[in-house]
Chain A
Amino acid sequence: MLLIIVSLSFGTVKISFKETLNILFSNNNDIKTSHIYIIKNLRIPRTITAILVGMSLSISGAIFQAVFKNPMADPYILGISSGAACGVAFGAITSLINYIPGIWGTPLFSFFGALLTSITIYILSDRLKTGNLTLLLSGIAINFLLSALMSLMMFFNRDDLEAIIYWNMGSFAVGSYEKIIVIVPIIIICIIILLKYYRELDLLLLGDDIAKSMGLEVRKTSITLLCIATLLTSVAVALSGIIGFLGLIVPHVVRIIFGPCHKKLLPLTLIFGALFALLADTFGRSILPNTELPISIITALLGSPFFIYLLKKQKRMLF
């Protein structure tokens, strides 16, 4: 809560904590209209977006890591975020996105792009069965392929250049109530379903053969989990573009501190994911005067050294 209020107060326009609290909880008589507008129409949606995206990408990362049994698996590294962004860029350039009513176009194209990438990676990992490294290299190759596709789309459609660059940079600034209202129910339903899968996720960590011998339908469960995590990733990308590191670092930090049991890991990943996204966004808005740093730069700058510190500190196997 404190972080939310701090986050609302920071930004290019400085608004004091007291003023922020007054705007949020009491009458707004003595407060500048511009400040009320900034808090209510810009910063609250931005804060909600940061929380939702932080939760979605982090829990998706935890799911991808368990299903692929790979500590490096996350929506960004596997190319699923890029797939979502590619889907949106494709929809925008072909104008197909305009045929979908309301503001459903972006999430829908984002989902199809992400789903296509997820299916490709799952098939590759299933067919190749040559271990973690191959999966990772396949993901990196797919990521490069999608980046090349994005560049190609940018090259041939210079009018839409700005929109495509935005998807690659990622930002919480474009969160609006209109988008949030559409996306919140999807995120909540997905999270509730994923939280119910904690025992299955624990079993998946033991390996496919052991999980099967304990009665788990491994393929069906894995596909269900991947579809939900992909949907979460795609709505996060639809809200804020591509944001790296959250899905990779947050589940690992929680795992190092609290252990790999998904009953604890999943809810704590949600909380830490929201906090980390909010912290990164607040830093990005306040570290340089009159300038905002892209969120991906902050998540990498803040997250990587902390992650390396934790990796060095812990002695046991992460995964």
Chain B
Amino acid sequence: MNNIIKIIDLNFSYQDTQILKNLNLEIKDNSFTSILGANGCGKTTLLKNILRLVPLKQNSIFVGNKDVSKINREALSQLIAYVPQNERVNYHFNIRDFISLGRYAKKTSRAEDNAVIDEMINLTNLEALSDKYVEEISGGEYQRVVIARALCQETPIILLDEPTSSLDPLHQSEVMRLLKELVAKKNMSIVCTLHSLNSALDYCNSSVLMKDGKIIYQGKSSDVINVENLKEVYSIDTTFVNNPYTNKKHLIIAP
């Protein structure tokens, strides 16, 4: 597998506080990667750097071998789509119209746009909702709508910032299952920041552990998420049992 994202010695400061320190990261294509770490460790800032939503120095972030700091917004939007944390707008937007906003930068015909929108509505199981309005749907449904909007950009990468943070357990697993399916069906790479370590173990094939603006461990989720690393990153005592549903490691945190 090739690297779809490569970050070399990334530093980022905000108002005299250094948030990211000499950060190096490689994301393989066709992978589902979770970025884990305590609150304030720089996870969201890292995503914003990759998306160039903050001022960026040259030669630090490469997406598909292109220097992110040197390409224009339109070109970047063809490479990476973004699902922000807790996005919730309650405008009276029809779901289909709302999803179609993802086609903004595509220079394609209306027929082609409609075909893509239909496909993404199907993929995200939103057929029954497509005539509703965004303010009428639940948090879990809204998250699927936002993912469908991101999918309409037809990018090889989607970045999601805590996509399950405000969802109940049922909708959390629904969203994570959907993301895992997308990696397989669309041959894309998905990177998401997460707080649920068990979701990372159950769904993500690779994980990255961050502490104080640095990446301290990265690799296969089941390898990276272990007792010693979690003690170091979160200062918590943990143990693992076998998850009978997945036959994978399941984390238990000491109270």
Binding site for B on A (CB under 8 A): 199-200, 202-203, 205-207, 209-210, 212-217, 255, 259-261, 316-317, 319
Contact = CB atoms under 8 A, between A and B. Distances in A.
B175 interface: no
Contact of A210 (B78, B87, B91, B97): B87
Nearest to B87: A210
Contact of B73 (A216, A259, A260): A216
B101 A199 contact: yes
A217 B53 CA distance: 11
Contact of A215 (B78, B84, B133): B78
A316 B92 CA distance: 7
Interface in B111-157: 133, 135, 153
B73 A215 contact: yes
B16 interface: no
Contacts of B135: 316-317
A206 B104 contact: no
Nearest to B136: A316
B93 A259 contact: yes
B254 interface: no
Nearest to B53: A209
Contacts of B191: none
A22 B129 CA distance: 55
Interface string B92-111: 11100100011011000000
A257 to B, nearest CB: 10
A210 B73 contact: no
A45 B112 CA distance: 48
Contacts of B94: 259, 261
Given A214-B101, A317-B90, A317-B135, A209 B73 contact: no
A243 to B, nearest CB: 28
Contact of B93 (A200, A209, A217, A261): A261
Given A212-B51, A317-B135, A205 B89 contact: yes
A214 B77 contact: yes
A202 B91 CA distance: 10
A205 B91 contact: yes
Contact of B80 (A213, A259, A261): A213
Contacts of A213: 51, 53, 77, 80-82
B91 A317 contact: yes
**Consensus secondary structure, chain A interface:** loop
Interface string B72-88: 11101110111010010
25 contacts: A199-B104, A200-B104, A202-B101, A203-B104, A205-B89, A207-B87, A207-B89, A209-B48, A210-B82, A212-B52, A212-B53, A214-B77, A214-B104, A215-B74, A215-B76, A217-B73, A217-B74, A259-B93, A259-B94, A260-B93, A316-B91, A316-B135, A317-B89, A317-B91, A319-B91
Contacts of A207: 84, 87, 89
Given A261-B97, A316-B92, A215 B104 contact: yes
Nearest to B72: A217
Contacts of A317: 89-91, 135
Contacts of A216: 73, 104-105
A163 B231 CA distance: 76
Interface string B156-180: 0000000000000000000000000
Given A213-B53, A213-B77, A203 B82 contact: no
A215 B102 CA distance: 9
A214 B102 contact: yes
Given A206-B89, A215-B78, 4 more contacts: A202-B101, A213-B81, A259-B92, A261-B93
Interface string B60-82: 00000000000011101110111
A260 B74 contact: no
Q: Among the interface residues A207, A215, A259, A317, which one has the most CB atoms of the partner chain B within 10 A? A: A215
B154 to A, nearest CB: 12
Nearest to B146: A210
Contacts of A202: 101
A200 B78 CA distance: 17
A209 B74 CA distance: 14
A202 B87 CA distance: 15
Contact of A260 (B77, B80, B91): B91
Nearest to A220: B73
A91 B102 CA distance: 47
A203 B32 CA distance: 28
Given A217-B73, A317-B91, A203 B101 contact: yes
Nearest to A202: B101
Nearest to B91: A260
B5 to A, nearest CB: 15
Nearest to A217: B73
A209 B48 CA distance: 9
Q: Among the interface residues A205, A209, A216, A260, which one has the most CB atoms of the partner chain B within 10 A? A: A209
B89 A215 contact: no
B147 to A, nearest CB: 13
